[in-house]
Amino acid sequence: MSWIALLAAAAAPAVLGDPTQEARARALDQEIRCVQCENEPIAQSTADIAQDMRRLVRERIADGDSDAEIRAYFRERYGDFVLFRPPFDERTLILWLAPALLAAAGLAAVWAQRRRNQADLTPEEGER
Amino acid sequence: MIAEIGAFATALTLALCLAQGALGLAASTRDSRMSALVAVSQAGAALSLLGFACLTWLFVVSDFSVAVVAANSHVDKPMVYKIAGTWGNHEGSMLMWCLVSAVFGAILASARGGQDAKLWSRAVGVQGFVTAGAIIYTLFLSNPFARLDPAPMQGSGLNPLLQDPALAAHPPMLYLGYVGLSIPFSLAIAALIEGRADQAWAKALRPWTLAAWTFLTIGIGLGSYWAYYELGWGGWWFWDPVENASFMPWLIAAALVHSAIVTERRGSLAGWTILLAIMGFGLALLGTFLVRSGVLTSVHAFAIDPRRGIAVLVLMFIALGVGFGLYAARAQKLAQPSGFAAVSRESMLVWNNYGLAVAAAVVLIGTLYPLLVEAAGGGLISVGPPFFNMTVVPLMGAVLLLLPLAPLLTWRIGDMRAAFTRLAPAAALAIATLIGALILSQWRVMPAIGLALGAWLIAGGLTYIWVRYRRGEGAGWAKFAALPLAVWSMSAAHIGAGVLTLGAIAETAFRMERAVILSPNESVEFADRRITLLEVGNVEGPNYSAARANFRVEQAGVVRPLSAERRFYPTSDMPTSEVGILPSMTGDLYIALGEAVREQPGAWSVRLYKNPLVQLIFWGMILMSLGGALSLWSLARRRGRNP
């Protein structure tokens, strides 16, 4: 780790004094991905870099940034990868629409099978 | 010598499995051929057991001339982890895959029961080829018996995170589940070849599906329990791709357990049951691929070799290609002997299957999507908990909302009004829970709905037992004893789902956490407790050094000690954490030791968690597994009575 990063991290507290601010920081810790250890939020990681990223979150909060600004800040610095909530753009259009499309396709399949399922029922039985 | 015997036994198993495949698919009904098929499959299982025993022995005696042992073991390791080391690595776990597949094939061959001879024979044959595929992969791409020359004096040990009892048992359980799904697959392929899937077929399918689902439940439960107490952040499920890899087959297995009941009892939905069986095994192979190929980089993916990943993918495409191809050609021929109305038990089980299958598909897309975007040149993105919580959780909620209705409806045509009447007390309890939770949580709507859902499921499960009790014969407690085992097994699994829901919602929504910096003898008030850091000392473990913090926890005059550690293994550059947990039914107090504070000598950052009702998550999983096991027992008893 470089000395500059060490100094920058040391300037921010590990825990914010204000409980509401600290709660916001912890929620953000869950959404931001540790860039060194794969697939862990910084809330969970024991890596040094995650510790620095946690301090960075608190530093931004102490400076008065909003949650959206902090997310944008991390995204600009580390790329989309760093946020566990995928962005909504043309790349992720299919991803975000998939649940609704799949649910609709399933409904259509169940509906299409309805006739076949009710083959030997009398019309009144089928109505129930 | 032992390694060569193991390799030879495994190669012989391969030959026998190919013979089993050819003999089985030929589907001769001559007695001599049929007994030959049984004998070949049993011999294959015995030899594969010998091969696995050889590898276990190599781990027990720490024979470092074998590459896998040298890379994953150490003479100082406790014996139980030496044995667990056999499957705690890529090569050994693949050999275990082969073993389970061969043994399951032999059981399928030996227990023909009332199945049609040709269908049975073809299923045994397909299973032979499944095992053969796994052995070819193991021997040629990840040979566990490969030697190392010169042999090192000492092994390099096992990943410290993996030296844990829950994690030692986690892979075998998952593999029993994954490979358990290969038998429904074989039965499905056999049914498609024969062009028939009757009730006797579904009867043969059910125990395997149940067993696979039960093992997957236990495996996932152990994994999440391990994550809870080992990873040190209080969580138990993170929608990690590797977790998803086991969750998808679990969802499909759960759907299959239910659709197979419909096919066995009513003969309906045979085509769908076959499709689920194919998809279940496909997802089990995909799970193996995702974990073993290292394509998804995460803590679990410790094998990185693209050739292996591609080979699993090829095996998966063969299995799915044969499966879906046959399905497209033959599915229309399958009979649909009996219909059902929109309000009926069948219909409810169709909705159950709808929800579980759509959920599995959403998890699949979310898990693979980052890979697809990266492959298409769209850069790196992450799809994590926010996506899955927003999509899969409401879908599962809808499935669970309908759940208590299904057992109270009759087959073919049900009476929804009567079912509602019986469930009125359960609904009242759920509404009371909803209102109570809304008020206590200061109008947090989603968690309140979740808790109400949990109450609805538990009360609904109890209602079903009560309804069956009232309908039973005899008096008093004798009536309870006379209830069929199937009532208890189903209720246990359904109530378990409710208990799990309560725990999961309470833990996720109402967890309290606090990060503090404490110096020795400094105290903090947290969750009605006074927590004092007594001291932080150095502890030397067998293969690590640790900082151990001792705490005093005072609550209502009761003082209890608690300690948490941060361990440093020289072989790994990341410290691991040993959390301190004071468990109770209402919630766990959970303390994780963070880092030493740089600018304040002697002070440590400490993370405190109060995880309400978190134990219910694991009790729910235990109840669900128990339900699966009881159901298996009930099927075995029924088969014993009228084979």
- Compare all CA atoms of chain A with the CA of B233 and give the residue at the minimum distance: A44
pLDDT tens digits for range B406-454: 999 999 889 999 999 999 999 999 999 999 999 998 899 999 999 999 9
Which residue is it, tokens 């006739």?
A115
Confirm or reject contact between B361 and chain A (CB < 8 A): yes
Q: Which of B384, B517, B594 sits opposite A84 (nearest CB)?
A: B384
- Compare all CA atoms of chain A with the CA of B295 and give the residue at the minimum distance: A38
| Pairing, β B580-582 against β B576-578 | unpaired
Q: What are the residues whose beta carbons fall under 8 Å from the beta carbon of B598, sequence distance 6 or more?
A: A10
Q: Which of B384, B513, B577 sits opposite A85 (nearest CB)?
A: B384
pLDDT tens digits for range B249-298: 999 999 999 999 999 998 888 999 999 999 999 999 998 888 777 676 54
Mean pLDDT along residues A17-36: 85
DSSP secondary structure code for residue B597 in this structure: P
Does A120 have pLDDT greater than 70? no
Name chain A contacts of B387, Cβ cutoff 8 Å.
84-86, 95
Dihedral angle sign, alpha carbons of residues B472, B477, B482, B484: positive
Name chain A contacts of B519, Cβ cutoff 8 Å.
none
Name chain B contacts of A43, Cβ cutoff 8 Å.
233
Mean pLDDT along residues B354-373: 94
- The dihedral over CA atoms of B34, B22, B28, B186, expressed in degrees to the nearest 10, equals 80
Q: What is B512-617's CATH number, 2.40.128, 2.60.98, 3.30.70, 1.10.3210? A: 2.60.98
Nearest to B87 by CA among B178, B154, B208, B187: B178
CA distance A4 to A9: 8
- Compare all CA atoms of chain A with the CA of B241 and give the residue at the minimum distance: A39
pTM, to two decimals: 0.93
At residue A6 the predicted structure's pLDDT band, cuts being 50, 70 and 90, is very low
Mean pLDDT along residues B470-484: 84
CA distance A25 to B478: 58
Q: How is chain B split into domains, by residue range?
A: 1-163, 165-412, 512-617
pLDDT tens digits for range A38-90: 678 888 777 788 888 988 999 999 999 999 999 999 999 999 989 999 989 99
Confirm or reject contact between A98 and chain B (CB < 8 A): yes
Confirm or reject contact between A116 and chain B (CB < 8 A): yes
Average pLDDT of chain B?
91
At residue B642 the predicted structure's pLDDT band, cuts being 50, 70 and 90, is low
| Pairing, β B604-612 against β B512-518 | antiparallel
Mean pLDDT along residues B537-550: 88
The residues facing B596 across adjacent strands are B604
Question: What b/e string do you get for B289-304 counting C-beta neighbours within 10 Å, with b at 16 or more?
Answer: bbbbbbbbebbbbebe
At residue B309 the predicted structure's pLDDT band, cuts being 50, 70 and 90, is confident
Confirm or reject contact between A67 and chain B (CB < 8 A): no
Does A4 have pLDDT greater than 50? no
Q: Do A46 and B574 lie within an 8 Å CB cutoff?
A: yes
Mean pLDDT along residues B108-114: 89
- Other C-beta atoms within 10 Å of A122: how many? 8
ipTM score for this prediction: 0.87
pLDDT of residue A2: 41
Does B464 have pLDDT greater than 80? yes
φ/ψ (deg, to 5) at B516 = -135, 165
CA distance B179 to B10: 18
pLDDT of residue B214: 98
Mean pLDDT along residues B107-119: 91
Amino acid identity, position B510 = F
pLDDT tens digits for range B611-625: 999 999 999 999 999
pLDDT tens digits for range B493-536: 999 999 999 999 999 889 888 888 899 999 999 988 999 999 99
Q: Which of B336, B382, B516 sits opposite A33 (nearest CB)?
A: B382
3-state class (DSSP) for residue B379? coil
φ/ψ (deg, to 5) at B455 = -65, -40
pLDDT of residue B230: 83
pLDDT of residue A45: 79
Q: Do A46 and B576 lie within an 8 Å CB cutoff?
A: yes
Q: Are B120 and B56 in contact (CB under 8 A)?
A: no
Q: Do B513 and A26 lie within an 8 Å CB cutoff?
A: yes
